[in-house]
Amino acid sequence: MSDPIRVGHLYTGRIQPGAVPYSRNQQAESSTHGLSFEEMLQDRLLHFSNHAVKRLEQRGIELKPEELSRIESAIDSAAAKGAKETLILMKDTALIVNVNNRTVVTAMSGNSMKDNVFTQIDSAVIIS
């Protein structure tokens, strides 16, 4: 029972035929599926389509950092339930978000929402 232990992985001295030792680098590569750090970060960031940016400007909607954080949390909640296109209602602002891409597709202010019908959504998240 005097098998050596090497830093970074467990080595018993016995390798089964055809087995390849599993290194830390292989573990890191397999857990990220070959994605770079930048790609992983982009997958977690909130994006705005050009259309959404124009609507935010036209309607005078400004989102504060804490509101952006709440929107990101709402997207996480919608994703956990399997949503694909969600309506996020926050105070007097409505956002349509593509959950898979984490992209705000369009935005409306309270006045724009009146007498409006939201289509092509499969979920809604209300943020207080």
More confident site: 42 or 78: 78
0.85 exceeded by pTM: no
**Does the pLDDT of residue 14 top 60, yes or no?**
no
Judged by average pLDDT, the poorest of 19-23, 75-79, 101-105 is 19-23
Residue 126 phi, psi dihedral angles, 5° rounding: -105, 120
pLDDT band of 115, cuts 50, 70, 90: confident
> Exposed, middle or buried by CB within 10 Å (0-12, 13-18, 19+), for 62?
exposed
Question: What confidence score (pLDDT) does residue 126 get?
Answer: 96
Q: Over pLDDT 70: what percentage of the chain?
A: 66
What would the pLDDT profile of 20-74 be if each residue is shown by its tens digit? 444 444 444 444 566 676 665 556 689 999 999 999 999 999 999 999 999 999 9
Question: What confidence score (pLDDT) does residue 82 get?
Answer: 97
CATH architecture of 46-127: 2-Layer Sandwich (3.30)
In degrees, rounded to 5, the angle at the alpha carbon of residue 44 between the alpha carbons of residues 42 and 50 is 60
Domain ranges of the chain: 46-127
> Exposed, middle or buried by CB within 10 Å (0-12, 13-18, 19+), for 45?
exposed
